[in-house]
Chains A and B, each alone.
Chain A
Amino acid sequence: MGYFLTLVALVVALGVTWRYLGSYMAAVFDGRVHFLGFVERPIYRLLSTRPDQEQTWKRYGGAVIVFSAVSLAFTYAILRLQGSLPLNPQHLGAVGSALGFNTSASFVTNTNWQNYGGETTMSYFSQMGALTVQQFVTPAVGICAAIVLVRGFSRKNFATVGNFWVDLTRCLFYILLPMAFIAGIIFVGEGAVMTLAGTATIHDVLNGAVQVIARGPIAFMEAIKQVGTNGGGFLNANSATPFENPSGLTNFLSMYLLLAIPFALTYTFGKMVKSVRHGAALLAAMALLFGVWVGFTSFAEHQNNPAVAAAGIHSTVGNTVGKEVRFGDTTTALFGVASTSTSTGSANGAYDSFTPIGGLGLLTGMMIGEVTPGGTGSGLYTLLVYAIIAVFIGGLMIGRTPEYLGKKIQAREVKLAGLAALVMPITVLVLTAVAVSLAAGRAGPLNAGPHGFTEILYGLTSQGNNNGSAFGGLTGNTPFYNVIGGIDMLLGRFAIMIPCIALGGALAEKPVVAESLGTFRTDNAMFIGLVVGVILIIGGLTFFPAISLGPIVEQLSHLRFF
């Protein structure tokens, strides 16, 4: 019952957010929100730029690359130098070079894959000055890239797509910082830890044991962790620990926050292209797939774990292995799907202990490209890539040069969309193949056989999709996995984002074709169905062989599918 109430509350809250946050974000990027002008202006002066100084897609994309490269270097430097930097009450030493590369790539790509335990590796300064900073700026970069693509549709005969520095500043000050601030207060209020006082040492008088309890500035990191679909928690146990996720309210709030912006951006899209119906169509495609995945995974987790059942133990409350009793089977499944479908990757349970089919739900939520609703910004731009492919095929089928919102989809657009759609499956499959072929890679998984294969596949799928959720079971902090994962994350982020920015530039240059009765409708149920079909078919066709050797064969070993 609690599960269904949670679902209803989530739908209502997200519905309201969709409408109002979406509209507000459109206003921010249209330059109609100014209340922090006194903060904006000095920043622009410092960067010697002006809001009316727009960039072509090449300059915009170049700025994204430069900014991200500097972020990568800056984060890496802090991690390597943390021993000599302040706010290090535990006197933690430098992060190793391979782990430092993996972690900085992870946070610069909005992945937050963590090959480390936060409380035993990172100083407060590293957590706040390096990681949390990236947790703010990377979702902003993602949103900027999405806005470029949206502007591609809303502008006609335009050479420029906006100013990256201005978009970035506005996104941070008008959207992410306020949302994270309010959410942070609630987390603190609910009891999430927020302190710079170092670890607490507790002497248990009864049994004489001494415990060292990790603490830190957790609550505010927690807020942006969810708002920015980052997922990298302060503590190793992530949202499963009460210090990060103290109550039912914060658990609900976490799910709400990580879904809020990705869903609301579809309204922003609709608003900016002057057709909320078009935004609603994208929302429907996202929500439909999200709903199916929630239902599928929750149902799977509500069953007995086949391995446990085989041992003669039957549970009446679903698969509870590896789950917090505070949250239960289905709500953990809901959290898991929300987190893996949004490129967040935070966790309030052990995904490794999900039933094979439940784990498949999480895995495939990422394999379909993180579009349901996906990461902040990245979800929208990746979905638009699939929408463009759907428009192209559907448009041909009605006998017209395909067009989406009046923009003709021609060779250049198909090339860029195809490139963006190719990158993720190829990267993930090839790197998984490398991992299973080399001794260093084979040493990673805890289990043998199909489950071990799933552990490797999950790890590289999670990083390639910039999700960052860990299936567990994979020993990732080895030079091999640190490097291969770093490459996976960087390709999965920028090899998709840059073609999308280029796509925005290509579309903005185009004139707008007038709409008529003969136009392929891109705001109705048929279109939603086509987009969903394209997402499922591309994801399914590329990953079906791999998953049939992992979770499917594992589940079939128990002779039945559910």
Chain B
Amino acid sequence: MNKVIDKPTTDASRGGVAKSRGLFDKEILRQALGDSLRKMDPRVQIKNPVMFVVLIGSVITFFEAIAHPSKFAWSITIWLVLTVLFANFAEAMAEGRGKAQADTLRKMRSETEARRLLPDGTEELVAAALLAKGDLVVCEANDVIPSDGEIIEGIASVDESAITGESAPVIRESGGDRSAVTGGTKVLSDRIVVRITAERGQTFIDRMITLVEGANRQKTPNEIALTILLAVLTIVFIPVVVTLVPFGNFAGAAVSVVVLVSLLVCLIPTTIGALLSAIGIAGMDRLVQRNVLAMSGRAVEAAGDVQVLLLDKTGTITLGNRMAANFFPVGGHSEQELADVAQLASLADETPEGRSVVVLAKEQFGIRERQLGDDHVFVPFTATTRMSGLDMGSRQIRKGAADSVKRWVVDAGGMSPNDLDVIVERVSRAGSTPLVVADGTDILGVIELKDVVKTGIRDKFDEMRKMGIRTVMITGDNPLTAAAIAQEAGVDDFLAEATPEAKMALIKKEQEGGRLVAMTGDGTNDAPALAQADVGVAMNTGTTAAKEAGNMVDLDSNPTKLIDIVEIGKQLLITRGSLTTFSIANDIAKYFAIIPALFVATYPQLNTLNIMRLHSPESAVLSAIIFNALVIVALIPLALRGVRFRATGSAAILRRNVMIYGVGGIIIPFVFIKLIDIVLVALHAY
């Protein structure tokens, strides 16, 4: 079998928990082979009713083979045991990948000592494992943060690569939405005081270990429903097969127990029964591969059902920040003059917007960045003045919101040029933000700050639309700006001037209309909405409150990933549905192999039904059983990787899968059972 290697799905899947492993990693393979034997324990098997029936069947044929030894009976017994082993192997393979990830996590779990801060201000050294919720600890450069917590004092750069795989350090500071730290990450500089927020053994890493290991994996709702259907399909075939004994007797035919057991095993949905749990575990694993941790399988399944995606504008739809895009001079000034002053005003402005003004002036007019002199005083932006600028001696340069700058100029005795309002209006209407630039009492013009929509995002939204998912952009911008960006990005709807309450109301309204909602969030004020949404993805950079409210955490803090999550959720269900269809469709060919074999001694005319022209009754039954066992192994890669998913309408997906797994599922076994029969004959087995 070819070694199949998962394509890295995002650039972030290179490190951290999500270290990508080949589908048939040698180490996992070895582990899985051992596990598949351990799983033969009947107490484990009974949890899977379909495979349990196969196990019971193999016990029956085993005793039958002892009582009436024959090559046929022993061959069937061996292949039935192999069928169970193959099922165990599939599950062990899926679990093995999780276990490997858990091991990586365990290694990095902090065993270091923590510097606990006592109320009197002194420190004591305690083992990290002994920290209780509410304790205060001190971390300085090169300390490993002992447990999950919140910074209550200080600011530090933290290396979170152990969790996210992202090597660039991140800034964590007290207050606001960047105060959460995770146990196991490392402080690179400065000193912080952290209040521990996790109970012992309940840290983020502990939870991650439990999740990826699938230790207490709960069956998801659809999985439960499918298990019931499979149980129904198993139960119904028991009387179908058992009644063949009296039916055969009535016809004067002695029916072989071994053949009956074989028929039963062939009819019950062993293919999906063997692969069902592997599919579920692998689905969670695929999320982890993309650096997303789902707190429950239920959430992953819900992601496939999502009909509305609430996407934050900033960072998801547009590149992080607004960028200066144009200079519009007013009052007879030239563009060059405006660019020159605008650059001066922004020299000391370290915000991304400020820097983009400097860059634009340089790019458009070749104006070099100047050094600030000693008499240059930076005037920072405040919420009351709503402008920033530079004082160069008596010369005062300002840039800021149109009405604020205008008022500042008029108050100082200047006047607003006639064409200013028109331009400000035009820039706003285009969805951009106008910044007015003034030099003393003279207004020079307007800088247009523009949101830059991410490339390719429009295509993503088109795909979503085809899948029947509505995208809603959430933004704090005014409706005018929001509408313009929404149109440019191709989202279906937008919520402008969004407050946490408005977001919450929107989610509730959609849910009342019977739609499932997914959203991302990071701030504490997002927490209620994250909890309310059916799928709430919290950013790893976000606050503890947000992470606890959501049911998934994105370690890369990349909100665009919501779209991937939806696809993984869908893929999980599609894989289950397709393999169920395949499993049932296979039965037809198996009937044509076994029924003639069963009664051909009594009714030779039934050989007409042997349309595959199989060599002998024994070879026919054995071929069907071998096919039934091998198909499990052949489908393990598909179960682990998932059925290929294309973002198209439901009708196209259904048509494709019905053709491949339904119609294909009818035809394929005819071909392979015949081939196996030919091989058996060639080997002189029969």
Point out residues on A near B: beta carbons under 8 Å.
Answer: 389, 392-402, 406, 409-411, 413-415, 418-419, 421-422, 425-426, 429-430, 432-434, 436-437, 442, 449-450, 453, 511-514, 516-521, 524, 526, 529-530, 533, 537, 540-542, 544-546, 548-549, 552-553, 556-557, 559, 561
Stretch at the interface among B186-194, B399-407, B654-662: B654-662
Cα separation A548 to B576 with both chains bound (whole Å): 32
Residues of A within 8 A of B591 (CB): 541, 544-545
User: A393, B580: Cβ atoms under 8 Å?
Assistant: yes
Residues of B within 8 A of A414 (CB): 225-226, 228-229, 232
Cross-chain pair count, CB within 8 angstroms: 212
User: B606, A553: Cβ atoms under 8 Å?
Assistant: yes
Cα separation A429 to B608 with both chains bound (whole Å): 24
Q: With A401-B305, A442-B250 given, is the CB distance from A548 to B595 under 8 Å?
A: yes
User: A400, B247: Cβ atoms under 8 Å?
Assistant: no
Judge if B605 is at the interface, Cβ distance under 8 Å. yes
* Whole-angstrom distance between the Cβ of A400 and the nearest chain B Cβ: 5
Q: Which residue of B lies closest to A430 (CB)?
A: B239
* Interface residue ranges of B152-189 to A (CB < 8 Å): none
Q: Which residue of B lies closest to A527 (CB)?
A: B654
* Whole-angstrom distance between the Cβ of A404 and the nearest chain B Cβ: 13
Judge if B649 is at the interface, Cβ distance under 8 Å. yes
Residues of B within 8 A of A541 (CB): 237, 240, 267, 584, 587-588, 591
Cα separation A548 to B603 with both chains bound (whole Å): 10
Question: CB < 8 Å: which of B242, B246, B581 contacts A393?
Answer: B581
Question: CB < 8 Å: which of A411, A520, A549, A553 contacts B654?
Answer: A520
Interface string of B640-680 (1 = CB under 8 A from A): 00000100011101110110011000000000000000000
Cα separation A526 to B38 with both chains bound (whole Å): 44
Chain B's interface size range is: 35 or more
Q: Which residue of A lies closest to B660 (CB)?
A: A397
Cα separation A4 to B592 with both chains bound (whole Å): 36
* Whole-angstrom distance between the Cβ of B396 and the nearest chain A Cβ: 56
Residues of B within 8 A of A418 (CB): 228-229, 231-232
Residues of A within 8 A of B247 (CB): 432-433, 436, 453, 545-546, 549
* Whole-angstrom distance between the Cβ of B480 and the nearest chain A Cβ: 29
User: B599, A548: Cβ atoms under 8 Å?
Assistant: yes
Residues of B within 8 A of A422 (CB): 232, 235-236
Residues of B within 8 A of A413 (CB): 225
* Interface residue ranges of B566-586 to A (CB < 8 Å): 569-574, 576-578, 580-581, 584-585
Residues of B within 8 A of A552 (CB): 606, 609
Q: With A392-B225, A436-B250, A453-B250 given, is the CB distance from A545 to B650 under 8 Å?
A: no
State the majority secondary structure of interface residues on A: helix
Residues of B within 8 A of A442 (CB): 250
Cα separation A411 to B267 with both chains bound (whole Å): 23
Q: Can you list 14 A-B pairs with a CB-CB distance of less than 8 A?
A: A396-B573, A396-B574, A400-B570, A400-B573, A406-B514, A414-B226, A415-B228, A418-B228, A434-B246, A436-B246, A453-B250, A519-B468, A537-B588, A545-B591
Cα separation A545 to B242 with both chains bound (whole Å): 11
User: B304, A411: Cβ atoms under 8 Å?
Assistant: no
Judge if B615 is at the interface, Cβ distance under 8 Å. no
User: A399, B645: Cβ atoms under 8 Å?
Assistant: yes
User: A396, B222: Cβ atoms under 8 Å?
Assistant: yes
Judge if B331 is at the interface, Cβ distance under 8 Å. no
Residues of A within 8 A of B513 (CB): 514
Q: With A436-B249, A521-B651, A548-B606 given, is the CB distance from A397 to B228 under 8 Å?
A: no
User: A397, B657: Cβ atoms under 8 Å?
Assistant: yes
Residues of B within 8 A of A511 (CB): 514
Q: With A409-B225, A411-B221 given, is the CB distance from A429 to B654 under 8 Å?
A: no
User: A512, B249: Cβ atoms under 8 Å?
Assistant: no
Q: Which residue of B lies closest to A529 (CB)?
A: B658
Q: Which residue of B lies closest to A389 (CB)?
A: B229
Judge if B19 is at the interface, Cβ distance under 8 Å. no
User: A397, B578: Cβ atoms under 8 Å?
Assistant: yes
Judge if B469 is at the interface, Cβ distance under 8 Å. yes
Cα separation A406 to B598 with both chains bound (whole Å): 46
Cα separation A436 to B251 with both chains bound (whole Å): 9
Q: With A516-B469, A526-B651, A541-B591 given, is the CB distance from A437 to B307 under 8 Å?
A: no
Residues of A within 8 A of B650 (CB): 398, 400, 517-521
Judge if B143 is at the interface, Cβ distance under 8 Å. no
Residues of A within 8 A of B574 (CB): 396-399
Judge if B418 is at the interface, Cβ distance under 8 Å. no
Cα separation A453 to B243 with both chains bound (whole Å): 13
* Whole-angstrom distance between the Cβ of B683 and the nearest chain A Cβ: 30
Cα separation A429 to B236 with both chains bound (whole Å): 10
Judge if B125 is at the interface, Cβ distance under 8 Å. no
Q: Which residue of A lies closest to B576 (CB)?
A: A396
Cα separation A546 to B465 with both chains bound (whole Å): 49
* Whole-angstrom distance between the Cβ of B270 and the nearest chain A Cβ: 14
Question: CB < 8 Å: which of B226, B585, B603 contacts A553?
Answer: B603
User: B595, A400: Cβ atoms under 8 Å?
Assistant: no
Known: A545-B591, A556-B608. 10 other contacts (CB 8 A): A396-B226, A396-B580, A399-B570, A414-B229, A429-B240, A436-B246, A453-B251, A518-B307, A526-B651, A541-B587
User: B584, A397: Cβ atoms under 8 Å?
Assistant: no
Cα separation A553 to B248 with both chains bound (whole Å): 13
A389, A398, A419, A524, most chain B CB atoms within 10 A: A398
Cα separation A406 to B168 with both chains bound (whole Å): 47
Cα separation A434 to B307 with both chains bound (whole Å): 52
Residues of B within 8 A of A433 (CB): 239, 242-243, 245-247
Residues of A within 8 A of B605 (CB): 553, 556-557, 559
Q: Which residue of A lies closest to B303 (CB)?
A: A399
Judge if B467 is at the interface, Cβ distance under 8 Å. yes
User: B581, A399: Cβ atoms under 8 Å?
Assistant: no
Residues of B within 8 A of A524 (CB): 651
* Whole-angstrom distance between the Cβ of A98 and the nearest chain B Cβ: 23
Judge if B132 is at the interface, Cβ distance under 8 Å. no
Residues of B within 8 A of A411 (CB): 221, 224-225, 228
Q: With A399-B645, A401-B301, A521-B651 given, is the CB distance from A516 to B470 under 8 Å?
A: yes
Q: Which residue of A lies closest to B596 (CB)?
A: A548
User: A556, B606: Cβ atoms under 8 Å?
Assistant: yes
Cα separation A449 to B62 with both chains bound (whole Å): 33
User: B232, A393: Cβ atoms under 8 Å?
Assistant: no
B246, B304, B591, B645, most chain A CB atoms within 10 A: B246
Residues of A within 8 A of B237 (CB): 541-542
User: A526, B658: Cβ atoms under 8 Å?
Assistant: yes
Residues of A within 8 A of B606 (CB): 548, 552-553, 556
Residues of B within 8 A of A421 (CB): 232, 236
Judge if B30 is at the interface, Cβ distance under 8 Å. no
User: A548, B514: Cβ atoms under 8 Å?
Assistant: no
Question: CB < 8 Å: which of A396, A429, A519, A533 contacts B662?
Answer: A533
Cα separation A541 to B594 with both chains bound (whole Å): 13
Judge if B244 is at the interface, Cβ distance under 8 Å. yes
Q: With A399-B573, A410-B222, A513-B515 given, is the CB distance from A437 to B580 under 8 Å?
A: no
Judge if B106 is at the interface, Cβ distance under 8 Å. no
* Whole-angstrom distance between the Cβ of B594 and the nearest chain A Cβ: 9
Interface string of B482-522 (1 = CB under 8 A from A): 00000000000000000000000000000001111000000
Residues of A within 8 A of B609 (CB): 548, 552, 556
Cα separation A196 to B199 with both chains bound (whole Å): 88
Q: With A395-B577, A437-B246, A553-B606 given, is the CB distance from A401 to B304 under 8 Å?
A: yes
Residues of B within 8 A of A542 (CB): 236-237, 240
User: B225, A410: Cβ atoms under 8 Å?
Assistant: yes
User: A526, B595: Cβ atoms under 8 Å?
Assistant: no
Q: With A422-B236, A553-B606, A557-B605 given, is the CB distance from A397 to B304 under 8 Å?
A: no
B243, B576, B581, B658, most chain A CB atoms within 10 A: B243
* Whole-angstrom distance between the Cβ of A233 and the nearest chain B Cβ: 31
* Whole-angstrom distance between the Cβ of B587 and the nearest chain A Cβ: 5
Cα separation A411 to B609 with both chains bound (whole Å): 38
B228, B237, B248, B576, most chain A CB atoms within 10 A: B228
